[in-house]
Amino acid sequence: MTGSPPYWNEDTQSWEDHDTPGPPSPPPPGSTRSAGPGGSGRRVLWTVLAAAAAVVVASGVALVRLTGDDDGDRADSRPAATRTGGPTAPESTGPGSGGPSTPPASPALPDGYELVHEQEEGFGAAVPRGWTRDTDKEPTDPFVVDYDDPAPGSRAFVRFSELSGSDPEQSLEEVRYWEGFEELAPSHPLDGENGPAYGVEYSFRSDGETWYAVEIHFRASDGSLYGVAAFDVDADLTEDRVIARTARQHFCPPGAPGCAEDQNSS
């Protein structure tokens, strides 16, 4: 704001104008930083993402990208620690030894949602109708795929992550490394279509903004661990709960025979 007197910046040890941005705060362990919501030419920090991806492989946690403005040029922040949120009780894979050989039938798709199938990564899922995959970043292994809300001004997105490890509850612990982490709903077991699942709701700070998340970690029908997470700067998590729950309920892991195709034909 113009006309304001300069102030003493303890970080830079210098006098600065109020409209001069200060240095970014240090990220949480294993995180990446965004270009900042007010910066121009916001780009994914791929050198940092590579390091964060290594943390995912080691600890089985989801990376988190924070979207920027609504013109497709988005700011990314990727702390390696996230937890997943959602309601109610665990579920076994059924009687007898081993789980089902084919994925069980998914619940009906809610109004306003559509099924997507990622050919390259091989998984299928459900997202709000009209949401588009973020194509600004190169594919990663394990995969990390984001779908963004294209509505003008929206910052919302949903992330699908392939995780290491086998315990969805334990994998959620890394979320506490977020700067300013605050647990809004504690980690709790969820009804599982294919296996155990745990979720959590939380808020955190990134580049001076408060973000809110509903995240779920679960074991899919292939026995592997995956994560889905809905993020927004809006504190009302009502829709985010539906997004995360629906994404998980209709998730088909890579290699599941005809999973996405069968869903699309139903």
Question: Among 187, 183, 262, 192, which Cα is nearest to 226's?
Answer: 192
Q: Do 226 and 161 contact (CB within 8 A), yes or no? A: yes
Domains in the chain with CATH codes = 46-95+104-265 (3.40.1000.10)
Q: Provide the pLDDT for residue 118.
A: 86
For residues 177-205, give the mean pLDDT: 87
Q: Do 85 and 216 contact (CB within 8 A), yes or no? A: yes
Q: Where are the beta strands (DSSP E) in 118-173?
A: 124-128, 132-133, 144-148, 157-163
Is the model's pLDDT at 49 over the cut of 60?
A: no
Max mean pLDDT range (40-44, 89-93, 155-159)? 155-159
25 CB-contact burial (10 Å; exposed 0-12 / middle 13-18 / buried 19+): middle
Q: Provide the pLDDT for residue 101.
A: 44
Paired strand residues for 165: none
Max mean pLDDT range (32-36, 167-171, 201-205)? 201-205
Q: Provide the pLDDT for residue 76.
A: 52
Spell out the residues 6+ positions from residue 168 whose beta carbon is closer than 8 angstroms to its own.
84, 196, 197, 198, 217, 218, 219, 225
Q: Do 172 and 217 contact (CB within 8 A), yes or no? A: yes
Q: Do 182 and 31 contact (CB within 8 A), yes or no? A: no
For residues 43-59, give the mean pLDDT: 36
Confidence of residue 246 (pLDDT cuts 50, 70, 90): very high
pTM, two decimals, is 0.63
Confidence of residue 158 (pLDDT cuts 50, 70, 90): very high
Q: Pick left, alpha or beta for residue 80 (phi over 0 → left; psi -120 to 50 → alpha; otherwise beta).
A: alpha
Among 64-73, 91-100, 130-139, 167-176, the least confident range: 91-100
Write the single-letter amino acid at 247: A
Is the model's pLDDT at 84 over the cut of 50?
A: no
